[in-house]
Homo-oligomer: A and B are copies of this chain.
Amino acid sequence: MSSIFSDRISDVPRSFIREILKVTVDKDVISFAGGLPNRELFPVEQLKQASAEVFDEAGKEALQYSNSEGYLPLREYIAKRYKTKNGLEVNPENILITNGSQQGLDLMAKIFLNETDDVMLEEPGYLGAIQAFQVYRASFNAVRLEKDGADIEHFKQILKHSKPKLFYTVPNFQNPSGISYSDEKRKIIAQLLTDKPIIVVEDDPYGDLRYTGREKKTFKSLMPEKTILLGTFSKTVVPSFRLGWLVAPAAYMERLVIAKQAADLHTNYFIQRLIFKYLSTHKIDSHIAVIRDRYDKQRTAMIAALRKYFPEGVDFTLPEGGMFLWVMLPEGISTMKLFDIAIQKKVAFVPGNPFYTDGRETNTLRLNFSCVDENLIDEGIKRLAEATRELLSTNKDY
C-alpha cells in the first residue's frame, strides 16, 4: 500500500481551470476564462420575495429533512416544461433533483461504472464530466467533434473496437466548443445505438440559451429508454443554489435514489421550495429572454472582433447559443504558450488541454462571452490577437 488514499482519487488532477482562474483575478485582465453566468442578470429581488413567502407559508415544513427524490411540485413543474418546450413526455417520478448537474454525473458514474468500464465522450469535452468519470476510474473513448456534432466515422470505429457503457454528450452549445449537433447527426447516432446496451447521458445545461437557429430534437426523445437527460437552473436562474435534475428511465430510478441518499440524503429542501415559488410566481421565459438578448449581443460582438482582429489561418466556431466559443489556431501552436503571452497583455482564456482526456498540448482554446461586457469584448479580442501574432512570429517551428 503505497498511499493512504484510494486509487480512484490518486488519479484525478486538481481542476486546471481553478488554477487558471487564480491568475486572472487581476482587475485589469479582461477574462474570457470564466464559465460563469452574468451576475448582473440574477433576479435578486424576485428570489428575495420568494424566500420570504416560503418562510411565511411553509417555514417549519420547508426547514425539515425531506425525501431523496426531491420536492414533487418542482419535479412536476420540470416535467410540464419539457412537455410545453420540447414536446417531451416526462413522468415527474422519473425526475431526481440533484445538487446541480455535476452531482447527476457523480451519481451516474456511481451506479453504472465499474473500474475500467469504457465511457465514450466528446473531444474536446466538458471538464466536470471528465473529472466525475475519472473518480470512478473509467476508461475514456474520446470521439472527435466536428462543427455539427460527433465525427460519425470515428463514432462507428469506437463502437466497433470497444463496448462503452455510457456515451456522454452535450448536444446543445457544448462546453467548451460551443457547437451543436445537427438533427441529422442526432438521428444517425440514435440509429447506431439501437440494440446496443449503451446509456446516453445527455447533458443540457444551456438548452434554454439559444440565440439563433432552430430547436433540435433531444436524444431523450429519440432514445427514451436509454437516455438520461440532465438539466439545471444554474444558467437560467442562479448557480449558487446548486439545483439541477436528471430524468432517467424508470428502471434506473431506484438505484439513483439509493445513491443520492448515500451521497447526502437529499438536496436542500428549502431551496427547492424557494425556486418553485419563484418559478410559479414569475414568467421564467421573460427572464430567459433578457439573458438571451444580452448573451447574444456579447456573442455577436465576440464573433465580429475575432473576424476583425485575427489573422488568416485561425478558425473558430459560431455557437447558436450557450456561453462559449472555440478557437483553433494553426497546427503546432501551443495555447499554453499563448496563455503566458496573453496574460502579459492582460487578457485571459482557457487553453484547450484540460478538455482532452489525455490533457495533451493543443492549438485550441475556449472563450467565454457570457461574463464580459460588450464594450470590453472588442478590446479583449484585440489583445488576444496581438498575443497570437506575437507567438506566430516568434514560433517559426509551428
Contact = CB atoms under 8 A, between A and B. Distances in A.
The CB with the most chain B CB atoms within 10 A, among A199, A241, A255, is that of A255
A258 B11 CA distance: 11
Interface in A190-232: 197, 199
A110 B14 CA distance: 15
Contacts of A199: 4
Contact of A63 (B110, B239, B263): B239
Nearest to A257: B14
A376 interface: no
B15 A42 contact: no
Q: Which secondary structure dominates where chain A touches chain B? A: helix
A395 interface: no
Interface string A157-188: 00000000100000000000000000000000
B12 A270 contact: no
Interface in A47-88: 47-48, 51-52, 55-56, 59-66, 68
Q: Chain copies in the assembly?
A: 2
Given A6-B111, A14-B254, A59-B42, A64 B51 contact: no
Interface of A: 4-9, 12-15, 18, 36-37, 39-40, 42, 44-45, 47-48, 51-52, 55-56, 59-66, 68, 98-100, 102-103, 106, 110-114, 117, 128, 131-132, 134-136, 165, 197, 199, 234, 238-242, 254-255, 257-259, 261-271
24 contacts: A5-B111, A5-B255, A6-B111, A8-B114, A9-B259, A13-B258, A36-B65, A44-B60, A45-B55, A48-B51, A51-B52, A51-B55, A62-B240, A63-B241, A64-B238, A64-B240, A66-B240, A99-B263, A102-B263, A106-B263, A240-B269, A241-B268, A242-B265, A271-B271
Which 6 A-B residue pairings sit nearest by Cβ, starting from the closest?
A44-B59, A48-B55, A240-B269, A63-B238, A99-B264, A103-B264
Given A64-B240, A135-B259, 17 more contacts: A4-B197, A5-B112, A9-B111, A14-B257, A15-B258, A37-B64, A39-B61, A48-B59, A64-B239, A65-B234, A65-B239, A66-B240, A100-B264, A102-B263, A102-B264, A238-B270, A241-B270
